[in-house]
Amino acid sequence: LQKQVVESEKLSAIGKLGTGLAHEIRNPLTSIMGLTQLLQENNQQNKYLEIITDELERMASLVNQFVILGKPTDIQRESCDVNRLLSNTVELMKSNTRLQNSTITFQPSQYNLETQIDPSKIKQVLINFIKNALEAMPNGGEVVVDSALLEETEEVHISIQDNGEGMTEEEISQLGKLFFTTKENGIGMGLPICFDIVKAHLGRVEYDSEKGQGTQVNLYLPVS
């Protein structure tokens, strides 16, 4: 069993560099995507258009993430029921993803997990963690989301467990590095952004992972 506390890199400088470029790319990209969609509506059978669309979506997501990186991570705290946020996010992921043979389960805890967080930012973190869990199980598997209140440390604990590929110690040590990815179509910007958001909440992330067994991501957020 391997464990690691994760710290995020300083991203804003790198992000700012990309932001200018990202804005320049955004407009032509948007019009190309629109035109490709029109073409696709008239040519449903064309395989190449499908590939072009997928690649354009990848570019758009890259550009969007650069724009996010360039902005300082300022959070707007408000009262939020973490169990409800988790339920909503899990439902969203169930309907959004081509789940193949995977399932996602979440049993809301009996605790009252009302806490002061930025719900949309934490939702973004949860989506990224669940996406990574699903992507670690290309042949299907089970993602289990859990939540609890740690009364001693006054923290909300959220865990996302998968029985996917898992990671080596070397891979774990790279988590949070910008552009670190082991995926053929990966970008390696998800976790750096997530860790920045968690840091802004004064929270922390721990990974428990075993190659070939699976991974558990533990997110701790202070109840403020």
Using DSSP bridges, classify how beta strands 103-106 and 142-150 pair: parallel, antiparallel or unpaired: parallel
For residue 135, the minimal CB distance to ligand ADP (Å) is: 6
Closest CA to 159 of 221, 93, 88: 221
- Identified binder of ligand ADP from the candidate list 190, 203, 205, 218, rule CB under 6 A: 190
For residue 174, what are the CA distances in angstroms to 27, 45, 167, 177?
33, 41, 10, 6
Residue with tokens 């009252």: 112
Q: Does 180 bind ligand ADP (CB under 6 A)?
A: yes
Q: Is-contact 148 122, C-beta < 8 A? A: no
Closer residue to ligand ADP in complex, CB, 68/167: 167
- Identified binder of ligand ADP from the candidate list 68, 167, 205, 221, rule CB under 6 A: 167
- Identified binder of ligand ADP from the candidate list 70, 119, 164, 203, rule CB under 6 A: 164
Span between the terminal Cα atoms of the chain, in Å: 31
- Identified binder of ligand ADP from the candidate list 46, 153, 182, 224, rule CB under 6 A: 182
- What does the binding site for Mg ion look like in residue numbers (CB under 5 A)? 132, 190
- What does the binding site for ligand ADP look like in residue numbers (CB under 6 A)? 128, 132-133, 136, 162, 164-167, 171, 175, 180-183, 186-188, 190-191, 215
